[in-house]
Amino acid sequence: MAAAAAVAAVMVVAVVAAAASAASPAAAGESTREFRWEVGYMTVAPLGVSQKVIAVNNQLPGPVLNVTTNWNVRVNVQNNLDEPLLLTWDGIQMRMNSWQDGVAGTNCPIPPGWNWTYQFQLKDQIGSFFYFPSLGLQRAAGGYGPITVNNRAVVPVPFAQPDGDIDVFIGDWYTKSHVELRKMLDDGKDLGIPDGILINGKGPYSYDNSLVPEGIQHETIGVEPGKTYRFRVHNVGTSTSLNFRIQNHNMRLVEAEGTYTLQQNFTNLDIHVGQSYSFLVTMDQNASTDYYIVASPRFVTDDHRWHDVTGVAILQYSNSKGKASGPLPDGPNDFYYKSYSMDQAKSIQMNTTSGAARPNPQGSFKYGSINITQTFILKNELPLRINGKRRRTINRISYSPPETPLRLADLHNLTGVYKTDFPTIFNNSTPKMASSVLNASYKGFLEIIFQNNDTDVQTYHLDGYSFFVVGMEYGEWTPDRRISYNKWAAVFRSTTQVFPGAWTAILVSLDNVGIWNLRSEKLDNWYNGQEVYVKVADPLGYNITEMIIPDNALYCGLLKNLQKPQIHQTSDKSSAHAADRWSMRILAMVC
């Protein structure tokens, strides 16, 4: 992502241009690329147990959305599931365009059997991101894939062009379906220890045949000796923080969610749920054997079963002389070094002299000298009981998604769908379910303190924005901690971890009008209500600082009468009949 300065400059341009072009997301002069995706079930057995997973074009991970800054993109999504679907674009900012964000607060879901076309421009972003289905825990069944936003040829990257690009998706995995997992959460249960860690949708290499049953297919990444590859690694799991490492290889960190970092070598890095990083890895070993690629759980209990779930893939040189064998490379042992992971996270800083999507230095926006105009202190706690249900909260509010998307309700002047009364500071009020929204001021400079009162690592993601991660420390945040903020080179990203019993402070320049999802990236916590929307309104901005609603917008909830039925082709896919039955039901419900 460009530094906010560039963003601010772009905003001016965009506002001027908006008078002419906001109504159409396809800005003049930029080409439009079309993608057609079918989202449906596929039966595979990544951990040796046959299960229905969600695939895009019959692939898991799905196809790469390989695009370049400023392109206009159209993605036609055919929903062949038996459930409503929305795809969201993690880390893509959807400038002035929350209509395309693909979360329940801004979009009505695509009914089963229907298709819907997302249309957006990749405005001033570069880097490694991913898409995934945002509703009802569907990501626990897959449906994810890479988004690579390439730099324009005129903007250099701060490293030699790598010899290849390798996407790596790591994540905890259950052999239960997302429907069963939902039921467990509805029944107030924990999901428990996952059944495995997948790498690119595949189970572990049999590094120990007492732990890995026979017949499991693992991922093999083939490489050429001497070459340097860009590994784009994403944690798309349900709720487990993972440590990522490649045996005998240095991983040079170059990018975190669209920001070029100060380059440094890691032998391993903690990647929390929803986070993305790029590493340059040089194939500088002698290929006496293949090498292990490992993703192992972090911050878990000492239950021995955690030891049995480790993701293992194989790095294979073209001149490899044999199989990988022996013990896996060690992960961190922080028994004696409690702040290992936090110190590692704090060492990730922005390279302030390199450009990103634009040639401007990333550090040209002097965020450290801007006055904060608003502060939210958002605290999550252990699960709380609300009306007898076990729920997750932020500031004692467990989000209850209204049937009508918030942004649609506003556009149609519907009151009572939600309230902008989300408490900006934690207090000890009785926990409750509510459709409450945080009210933020357009053009303000917002400070958010995430205070994690749980015993587990938390990750938060904000749609529509990147933010500066200026501080994290153990204990309770107090205003005097601002003195410890990184005011010069904080990393600028969209997903941050908050360690247990600790706080993380972020700064956000509120330059993107819309209603934006702020969520726990941990699917179980998210599903149980740990999310909120941040409303950044410009009352005079519709069709000026905000795009108008797209022609193809879907309607639901209180606005369902506005929805026209979709005549969809009876596809020859086997799931189409089930989908048809479902869509008839949905049609009956919706229309």
Ligand X SMILES: *[C@@H]1O[C@H](CO)[C@@H](O)[C@H](O)[C@H]1NC(C)=O
Q: Under the rule (CB under 6 A), what is the footprint of ligand X?
A: 19, 23, 64, 66, 76, 78, 115, 150, 158, 165, 250, 252, 262-263, 265, 282, 284, 286, 288, 351, 353-354, 371, 396-397, 412-413, 420, 423, 427, 429, 439, 441, 453, 455, 500-501, 543, 548, 566-569
CB of 439 to ligand X, least distance (A): 4
Between residues 397 and 406, which has the closer beta carbon with respect to ligand X? 397
Between residues 70 and 543, which has the closer beta carbon with respect to ligand X? 543
Among residues 42, 133, 143, the alpha carbon closest in space to that of 85 is found at: 133
Between residues 19 and 589, which has the closer beta carbon with respect to ligand X? 19
Between residues 214 and 572, which has the closer beta carbon with respect to ligand X? 572
CB of 137 to ligand X, least distance (A): 26
What H or E segment, with its residue span, contains residue 10?
Answer: helix 4-21
When CB distances to ligand X are compared, the closest residue is 158
Q: Whole-angstrom Cα distance, residue 456 to residue 129?
A: 25
CB of 20 to ligand X, least distance (A): 6
Between residues 210 and 415, which has the closer beta carbon with respect to ligand X? 415
Strand partners, 132: 88
From its phi and psi, is residue 22 left (phi > 0), alpha (psi between -120 and 50) or beta? Answer: alpha
Q: Write down the residue that tokens 């779930």 correspond to.
A: 309
Q: Whole-angstrom Cα distance, residue 117 to residue 570?
A: 18
CB of 130 to ligand X, least distance (A): 14
CB of 251 to ligand X, least distance (A): 8
Q: Whole-angstrom Cα distance, residue 492 to residue 231?
A: 20
Between residues 16 and 49, which has the closer beta carbon with respect to ligand X? 16
Between residues 177 and 282, which has the closer beta carbon with respect to ligand X? 282
List, in order, residues 6 or more apart from 399 with CB less than 8 Å away.
433, 434, 435, 436, 529, 530, 531, 532
CB of 340 to ligand X, least distance (A): 18
Backbone φ, ψ for residue 104 (5° rounding): -65, -25
Between residues 295 and 559, which has the closer beta carbon with respect to ligand X? 559
3-state secondary structure 459-495: EEEECCCCEEEEEEEECCCCHHHHHHCCCCCECEECE
CB of 210 to ligand X, least distance (A): 26
List, in order, residues 6 or more apart from 121 with CB less than 8 Å away.
25, 26, 27, 30, 70, 71, 72, 73, 95, 97
Among residues 258, 274, 256, 447, the alpha carbon closest in space to that of 347 is found at: 256
